[in-house]
Structures are given as structure tokens and as C-alpha cells.
């Protein structure tokens, strides 16, 4: 559900209200039932799911239902804040949303054939500030938590949209820390993981553009040498591995080239370098995919939107695409 005080409940209700999406898979919703009921009432949607208490024997008995809501009564304080109309980062919302992710991860580790086993995780937005308030600041976001729990040594965030695909070399880090974090391996990994992901999605030979870090991609070393020391060697490694990777290109022009069809994927060096063009061009359709995990994980590319929570104003387009892509990628994984 993500943070129950944000728009997560609303976009889940609106997404799963689509009959075509409901027919595509079976769904387990980890969250607070009262928040879903409230969102459904505001949206004029008749509840279409079955609710059972989470962590109870009843959960397995209800798992045959197409949409099963696992209602977690351990977070009554968060449910109370939601009923009071609170919409802000909070310790209560942070603790609840963190546990929902933990429970989703646990569901993917159940044995094949278990009625509560999940093949993919789709996460609604969380508040990183709320996680910190709940004492979970060790994990800046979903990606870091998932990488830790699945013991994945290499992960990357890829943003998929009909207009543009972008994968990030670094994720949730301060800009001032990039100098100590960016390495040849850190640039090579998203190239390699992104190439593999696109091939699995049907792109036979992905064409990958790699951004420079500095203005004008360093201008031959005049504006920084990271391109020569780190990025160019990573591109050469990728090319030696048979990957069609090119660059480094100035970030202020390469995204236009990708949108025009010259590249299938752009590797950005840091969060905003890659996310600004994605959110500008595909605000309501981009999907975040975590590469490098043993399970499929997707999410919408927006945040909790506390400012419009509980107002029936949220657009569920990105979450709907996240669900559709998770179903598609799960089918590919099963075929493998």
C-alpha cells in the first residue's frame, strides 16, 4: 500500500477497479483495509476484494480470491491518523509502510504452490522522511531495502515509459557524495543490467547511450575528468562484453536523441539527471523497475502526494502501468 496517509490506497483502488487488470493476475494487497474502503467510497467504487486479517490462519483460506487484502491491525495508530484526515510524513505511516514491504518480500519467499506466494512486488509510494521518523533511515528507499533483503550485490533503478527508458548509476545519494561513489563498476553495472532487462523485454540488441557526469561530458577534461577516468572505461568493458553501449554524451542533448529513436536506453549518472526528463515527458506513464533482484519489482514513478491525499484527485496511470509491466515481466520469468 505504501504510506497509508498518502495516495497509495486511492491509486490501488483505481488500478484494481479496472476489470482488465483484475483478469491479468491474482493480487495480494498488504496494507490497511479501512484506508482502501475510504478511498473506494470517495472514488465511487464498490469494494471488489476480500479482506482477511494479516498473519492469521484465515489468510491462506482466502487466498483463492482474485484480490485479497491482508489487513494489518498492528498499525491501528496509522489507521487512526488516516481516519482523522492526516496527510503528512509520520512515524506511524513510516512504520506501517515499512512493514508492508517486509511482508511483500516474505510472500515471494514462500514455496511454489503456496496460495500466498507472490511472483512480483508492486510498491505504492512511501515517504523516506516517514521511514526515518520510524527509525528506518538505514534504508533511503525501497530499492536499498529490497537489495539488502534479497542479498543482491548489483541493483539498478530503471524507468520504463512509452517515450523514454532511463537507468541510474547512483540512486538516493547527495550530489556532494558522488565523487566518492562513482566508479567504473558503478557505471558498468547499470549498462549491463539495463541491457539484460531490455533483451528480456524483447529488444534484440539494445542501443545504450551513457551520459557524462559533467557539463558537456567534461569537454575533454576541461570541466572534470570523471568521463575519462570512470565512464569511458566502463563503456569499453560493456563493448567488450558485446553490449552496444556508446558515449559518454552530454546529458543536455542525449535524451532528445533517445526520444527520437536513436537509443533504446539512457544510463544517467545520478538521480535528477535521469529523472527530470522522464518525469517531464512521461509523468503519468513511467514505471520504476528494480533490476538485479531475483523477483520482479515495479512501482509508479511518483511520490506519496500528501497534498492531494484523500481528495480523489490522484491519477492511477503510473501504478496501472507498473502492475501491467510486473505481470508481463513475471510471465517472461516463468517462461525462462
Complete DSSP assignment for 243-309: -EEEEEE-HHHHHHHHHTTS-SEEEESSHHHHHHHHHHH-TTT-EEEEET-SSEEEEESS---GGGT
DSSP 88: S
pLDDT digits (tens, 9 = 90+) for 169-220: 998 888 888 888 899 999 999 999 999 999 999 999 999 999 999 989 867 8
- At 221 the pLDDT is 78
Q: What is the pTM of this model?
A: 0.91
Instruction: Report residues of the chain scoring pLDDT below 50.
Output: none
- At 173 the pLDDT is 87
- At 283 the pLDDT is 82
- At 6 the pLDDT is 97
Helix (H, G, I), strand (E, B) or coil at 31: strand
Helix (H) or strand (E) holding 30: strand 27-31
Are the beta carbons of 146 and 291 closer than 8 angstroms?
no
- At 57 the pLDDT is 72
Amino acid at each position: 500500500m505504501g504510506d497509508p496517509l498518502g495516495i497509495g490506497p486511492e491509486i490501488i483502488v483505481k488500478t484494481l477497479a479496472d476489470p482488465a487488470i483484475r483478469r491479468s493476475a491474482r493480487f495480494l494487497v498488504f496494507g490497511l483495509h479501512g484506508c482502501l474502503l475510504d478511498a473506494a467510497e470517495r472514488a465511487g467504487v464498490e469494494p471488489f476484494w476480500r479482506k482477511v486479517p494479516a498473519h492469521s490462519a484465515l489468510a491462506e483460506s482466502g487466498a483463492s480470491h482474485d484480490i485479497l487484502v491482508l489487513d494489518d491491525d498492528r498499525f491501528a495508530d496509522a489507521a487512526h491518523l488516516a481516519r482523522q484526515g492526516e496527510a503528512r510524513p509520520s512515524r506511524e505511516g513510516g512504520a506501517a509502510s515499512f512493514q508492508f514491504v517486509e511482508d511483500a518480500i516474505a510472500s515471494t519467499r514462500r514455496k511454489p504452490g503456496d496460495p500466498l506466494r507472490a511472483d512480483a512486488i508492486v510498491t505504492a509510494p512511501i515517504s523516506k522522511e516517514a521511514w526515518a521518523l520510524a527509525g528506518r533511515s538505514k534504508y533511503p528507499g525501497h530499492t536499498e531495502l529490497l537489495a539488502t533483503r534479497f542479498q543482491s550485490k548489483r541493483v539498478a533503478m530503471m524507468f520504463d515509459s512509452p517515450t523514454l527508458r532511463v537507468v541510474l548509476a547512483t540512486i538516493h545519494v547527495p550530489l556532494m557524495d558522488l565523487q566518492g561513489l562513482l566508479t567504473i563498476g558503478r557505471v558498468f553495472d547499470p549498462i549491463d543490467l539495463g541491457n539484460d532487462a531490455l533483451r528480456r523485454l524483447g529488444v534484440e540488441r539494445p542501443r545504450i547511450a551513457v551520459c557524462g557526469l559533467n557539463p558537456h561530458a567534461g569537454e575533454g577534461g576541461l570541466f572534470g575528468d570523471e568521463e575519462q577516468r570512470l565512464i569511458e572505461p566502463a563503456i569499453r568493458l560493456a563493448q567488450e562484453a558485446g553490449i552496444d553501449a556508446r558515449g559518454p554524451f552530454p546529458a543536455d542533448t542525449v535524451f532528445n536523441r533517445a526520444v527520437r529513436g536513436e537509443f533504446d536506453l539512457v544510463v544517467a549518472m545520478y538521480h535528477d539527471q535521469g529523472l527530470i526528463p522522464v518525469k517531464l515527458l512521461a509523468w503519468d506513464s513511467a514505471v520504476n523497475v528494480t533490476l538485479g533482484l531475483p523477483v520482479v519489482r515495479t512501482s509508479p514513478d511518483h511520490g506519496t502526494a500528501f497534498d492531494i491525499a484523500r481528495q480523489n484527485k490522484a491519477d492511477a496511470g503510473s501504478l496501472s502501468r507498473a502492475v501491467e509491466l510486473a505481470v508481463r515481466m513475471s510471465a517472461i520469468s516463468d517462461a525462462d
